[in-house]
Amino acid sequence: MSIQLDQVSAFMAAHARVLDRRRFEAVTDDSDTAREAIIRALDAYRNDDGGYGWGLEPDLRSTESQPGGAQHALEALADAGPATSPHTTALLDWLSSVTLPDGGLPFALAVTDPAACAPFWAHANPRESSLQISAAVATQAHRVAHWDPAVKDHPWLETVTRYCFDAIRRIDETPFAYVLSFALQFLDVASDTRPEAHELLDHLGRFVPRDGALPVTGGAEGETLRPLLLAPEPGRPIRDLLDPEAVSHDLDRLERAQLADGGWTVDFTNYSAMAALEWRGYATVGAVATLRMNGHCP
């Protein structure tokens, strides 16, 4: 079985936001022009304080800057690499300004307009650090730091990295699926430059089933984090935690998951009509990128 990229392209034109259309273009085109276009599309979500909002996280639709917006902004910057943005330092300065005294980020700051926002964003405690969002943001920052000295040398990266290492070291029972997933991905990318990440990856690995399937307690019916969500890229340390046969089966599952309209969808709850649409574009870019990295897509 092989997916048809022209069908995917038609789906993106009909359903996806400009940012994800640009990300898809960079995945399939791999040109400098496509990568620079991601940075221009990202600017639409930027606030004057240096952070990002305006629904960049599809289920967090309030306008103000949020850690969730920063996660997705850094993810887009990582996908744009080695192109860089002139606004990256301002984003890390903003992250420094909202980081709590222990070095972690709150899951969300106070949401001024909760319309169409998921309750877990709107009701988060802004005075308590969250390993889940800290690891998610730090993961994308470490990806960008591979080529952008504005991130590699910014003091916030060391601050949040140290917080994540300490929080992960204290984990002594199976964490919530998303906490485990983001912490594993953080350790995987941090292991490129921080030797202690390898030891902590072994520490967390004891909570990962060999088939890599992590059911989401309290999530939508059947919501499960799959092996390729944990470890999309072959050859990475995190792949060693998983049964290769399970990864192979998951590649087949991901390929079969393309819908008749050419796109992919998500299995978690969305909190607005726009979010449901935007998550599909986001998921479709991710599916194509993962299949291409693993030789399952032209």
**pTM as predicted:** 0.96
Residues in the chain: 298
Query: Which of the four pLDDT bands, split at 50, 70 and 90, describes residue 298?
Result: confident
How many CA atoms lie less than 13 Å away from 165 in the CB half-sphere? 15
pLDDT above 80: residue 288: yes
Q: Where are the domains of the chain?
A: 5-294
> What 3-state DSSP class applies to 224?
strand
Site of tokens 């979010």: 275
Instruction: With beta carbons less than 8 A apart as the criterion, state whether 154 and 142 touch.
Output: no
Task: Tell me the pLDDT tens digit for each residue of 30-79.
Answer: 899 999 999 999 999 999 999 999 999 999 999 999 999 999 999 999 99
Give the whole-angstrom CA distance, residue 56 versus residue 134: 17
Q: What is the pLDDT, as a whole number, of residue 291?
A: 96
Query: Which of the four pLDDT bands, split at 50, 70 and 90, describes residue 135?
Result: very high
User: In percent, how much of the chain has pLDDT > 70?
Assistant: 100
Task: Tell me the pLDDT tens digit for each residue of 85-111.
Answer: 999 999 999 999 999 999 999 999 999
Q: What is the mean pLDDT of the chain?
A: 96
pLDDT above 90: residue 2: no
Domain 5-294 is found in CATH 1.50.10.20: yes
Q: What is the dihedral of CA 33, 38, 44, 50, to 10 degrees?
A: -110
Instruction: With beta carbons less than 8 A apart as the criterion, state whether 65 and 50 touch.
Output: yes
String of DSSP letters for 103-169: SPPBS-PPPS--TT--HHHHT--TTSB-HHHHHHHHHHHHHHHTT-HHHHT-HHHHHHHHHHHHHHH
Q: What is the pLDDT, as a whole number, of residue 61?
A: 96
Site of tokens 């935690």: 241
Mean pLDDT of 264-287: 96
pLDDT above 80: residue 1: no
Contacts 24+ apart (CB under 8 A), 177-180: 177/214, 177/215, 177/216, 177/217, 177/219, 177/224, 177/225, 178/132, 178/216, 178/225, 179/131, 179/132, 179/135, 180/204, 180/207, 180/208, 180/214
Q: Which residue type, as a one-letter code, is found at position 223? A: E
pLDDT above 80: residue 17: yes
Q: Measuring CA to CA, which residue among 167, 179, 96 is closest to residue 132?
A: 179
pLDDT above 60: residue 199: yes
Phi-psi region of 218 (alpha: psi -120 to 50; beta: other; left: phi over 0): left
Query: Which of the four pLDDT bands, split at 50, 70 and 90, describes residue 296?
Result: confident
Query: Which of the four pLDDT bands, split at 50, 70 and 90, describes residue 4?
Result: confident
Q: What is the pLDDT, as a whole number, of residue 164?
A: 98
